[in-house]
Structure formats: C-alpha cells, structure tokens
Structure 1
C-alpha cells in the first residue's frame, strides 16, 4: 500500500476526527514539518483549518516579535555590547502590517498574511486571527499586558476558545503564560521600538517576567487531568484542549512548583 502524503482534504478529516468544530475559536501552535509534506504546504494546512472552522469560526496564531527588544538580553545569538546603542537607535518600530514574527513557524506566518487577517498591535507579543471574531479578539492588547488579561489571550479565555498543539509540545503553549499573571510572577522592565504620538521611539515599560522554561513539565502534569483530545493530524501528533481549563490548572501548578522570587 502506498504511503500517500496528507492533503488539504485528509487534514480536514483528521481535524474533524480530533474534535475541532465548526464555529469555534482555536489558537494554533504548529510545526509544518511534523505534519509532513502536503501539496500546497502551509496554505493547504491553513485552508484545512478554515474549512473545518467554517465562516463562523476563528483561527488565531501567535505573531510575537520578541527580537524587538533590548539587545542586552539577547542570547541566541548575543551581540557585542558596542552594538547595543545602535540597535536601540535603529531598530524599526513595530508595524502590524510589516513586522514579521520570529521562530513561530510557517503556518503562523501564513495566517498572519492571510487575506482579511487582523493582528493585535502589541510591539512584542502580538497575535493574528482570521475569521468571524478576529477583529474583536485582536482589539485590546495593552502594552503592559504582553500575555495577560488585557491581551488576546484573555479574550480567548473569555470566549471559550481551545488550544490546538499541532506537531508541537506543551513547551510552546502560549495559554500557560496567562496563568503567570495570576500566580503571580515577578515583573521586570521590557524595552522595544514602537510608534507613539511623537513618532518612532525606544520605549521602556514594566510587565510580568514570563518564561516557558518549565511548560513541558507543566503540560505533562496537566494532560492526565485534562479535557483533551489527542490524535494524528497528517503525520503530526495533535492535542486539542480548552484555554480556560489549561490556564486554571497552570495557576495552581505554578504556585506550587515555582519558588517565590
């Protein structure tokens, strides 16, 4: 029997079997490589998701631009200290229409650039969405709420959205960051280039010091208790679960497992 590649149609069938429903809102973290070679690549994967969600559904992806940050914190790779003033002076201001995400995968980038996509305006932690609730979900994203209550994550929780991990693990589950705002986690200074009423400026502000370093362990603890569907989508291992449930579990887990600062 020939080992055929996944297709747009077969991916839609797999997503339906996993439990994705028409009309719902889902935030997707994905690896195109894990899904396997698909005729049409990233476009076909997004088409399959939108086909299952239908016109009343909404597809959301992370679109973070954390490379728009203070170069003194850069580690992958670090840059010479002599470069720091030049970077702070010359880094282009975040532009929702132009600034690309970094390291979030081909599917997320396809959604960001999809016709009709809406992107939140946070200069470091934006999201992008396509579908019926895209504009509403992306409308509020306060500067001092990267991934908190007044961000699209908070909005996703309020509308009963689910998370789809498509070929990736809990270590990239952005929803867990919302729990860091409730645990609570210490705050720190953040800096970036952004547009203000005065034009392009290098801005420093305070927000939660988020980290995903322990999210794999958090996810391993959450999964056995979760209202979670797991199965294959293409060649990828996929998990589908509620944002609100994951966040509630994470709050308790973080309070126990992260030592106080």
Structure 2
C-alpha cells in the first residue's frame, strides 16, 4: 500500500485524466496499456481510477487494450522461476486447467490488466499463453481469431493494433514489458523457433494439452531499444500520478524496432 504522505497525492480520476490528456492520449483512439501502478503514488480508487480516467479521455469511441497473458500455462520443461523436476512434467501437462478466456485470471500482468479483463463488456482473446483483453468499440476486431501459432505475429492482436494505428501507453514501467516490440521479432528474417505447449479447453467442455511451433520470444535489449526510441523522439514522456507515462504510436515503435533488431541482434550474434 502507498504511504499516505506519498509526494503529489492523492491522485484522482480527474487529475489522472488531465495528465493523460496532456501526455497526448487521443480521444476516440485505441491504446494498449502496460501499467505498474505502484510507482504512480496514492491513487484515489486504485486501478479503477486509472481505467476510468483513460476512458474519460478516450471517450465512447475509444478502446483500451491490456495484455492478460498467462505464462504459467506453458510447457513446464521451460520453467525457470522456479524450475520443476522432469518427473513432474507429465503430471503438469495432464492436469493443468485448460485456459478459459472468461475465467482464467491473469496473475502477472498487474492490477489494471486484471481489472480490464473482468470489466463488464470486455472481450478477451482465447490464446492460452498470450491473450489480450479489450474494452470499447474496437474490442472484438482486436481480440477475435487469435491463433496458437504466430501468437504475437501477423495474425495476433498486436498486428490488429498496428492496422488500427493504435498507441502504446507505458504507465510506471519502462520498455521491458512493451509487448508490441515482439511484433518486430516476427518481422525479422528467419527468427529462431521453439516448441510451445499449453492446456486448452475442448469443444465438449474438457481439456487437453496442445503443442505448436512459434518463434522464440526474447525481450532482452528492449530497455536499450526503448531508450534509443526515446532518443529518436518517438515517445512522449510526462507525469502520470507520481510516476512517468510514456506514449508512442505503435506503428512507429514497431517499425523502429524492426530496424533496431536487425542491426543489433545480428551484430551481437555475429
């Protein structure tokens, strides 16, 4: 809990909305939000105040999108935090509950993401590992048809956001969790591949374990990429609560990242 004497607080729905307007959140736009609320100070209403402020600025034609990923629904052979013994893997694969977009919580994406997921009228994509939730008129267009393979690529909600010329808003976090940058990984020539697995629901209400091949996602260097993106003038920075908001056009960020990854990862791997 934030201390009552936190600098600048308390921050209200109205004051947060004023800061978001100044930062440049576009009325009627679509915005993908990554939030670490602890750094924003004392929020009068917690994550609800942030969501309501965002919706006040976006207006009835705007759409809020959040990552509602479930990284725990994955192949236990790849778990590292903590790792589990190999003889546990078959049990986990056979007993892990199947992903249900209506009820499966998103435990690691933050309080704002979980609030959007459970908000009346929100829609969620049905990917068992990297789902997104959206609230607003463009929600169904963004989350529908999220395939197992190409999970953050050209058929994913990230690509639909690119098509919509959406914004990305980082609240109290840097570029490390900026999921849109993964779309740039799919736009590299011959990205490294891996086998992925997850538990899903079946049509008859049961569950099964499924496998698919996808690229090996790697957020390593995203902080450095983001710093260069900011240096290029593609990110607007401003106060939100006691923290920092970072706002960028998703297309500009992805296009910059495509070139950045081509230069830096190729150099580092050479």
RMSD: 1.4
Moved over 3 A (4+): 196-199
Alpha-carbon distance in 1 for matches of 2:112, 2:46: 9
1:176-226 Cα offsets, whole Å, 9 max, x none, are: 000000113211100111123474111111011111121111111211113
Alpha-carbon distance in 2 for matches of 1:150, 1:3: 42
1:33-48 alignment to 2 at 5 Å?
33-48=38-53
* SS of residue paired to 1:237: strand
* SS of residue paired to 2:176: helix
Gaps of 5+ in 2: 1-6
1:228 aligns with 2:235: yes
* 8 A Cα contact 2:229 2:235, kept in partner: no
Alpha-carbon distance in 1 for matches of 2:175, 2:105: 23
CA displacement at 1:102 relative to structure 2: 2.9
What count of residue pairs does the alignment treat as equivalent? 260
Alpha-carbon distance in 2 for matches of 1:244, 1:236: 25
Structure 1 residues 237 and 212 mapped into 2: Cα distance closer, same or farther (>3 Å)? same
CA displacement at 1:236 relative to structure 2: 1.2
* SS of residue paired to 1:68: coil
Counterpart residue number, 2:194: 188
1:69-108 Cα offsets, whole Å, 9 max, x none, are: 1111111111222211110110000000111113111111
CA displacement at 1:231 relative to structure 2: 0.3
Counterpart residue number, 2:87: 82
Alpha-carbon distance in 2 for matches of 1:257, 1:100: 36
TM (norm. structure 1) is 0.96
Is the deviation greater in 148-157 or in 31-40? 31-40
Counterpart residue number, 1:13: 18
1:130 aligns with 2:135: yes
CA displacement at 1:3 relative to structure 2: 4.4
Counterpart residue number, 2:72: 67
Counterpart residue number, 2:223: 216
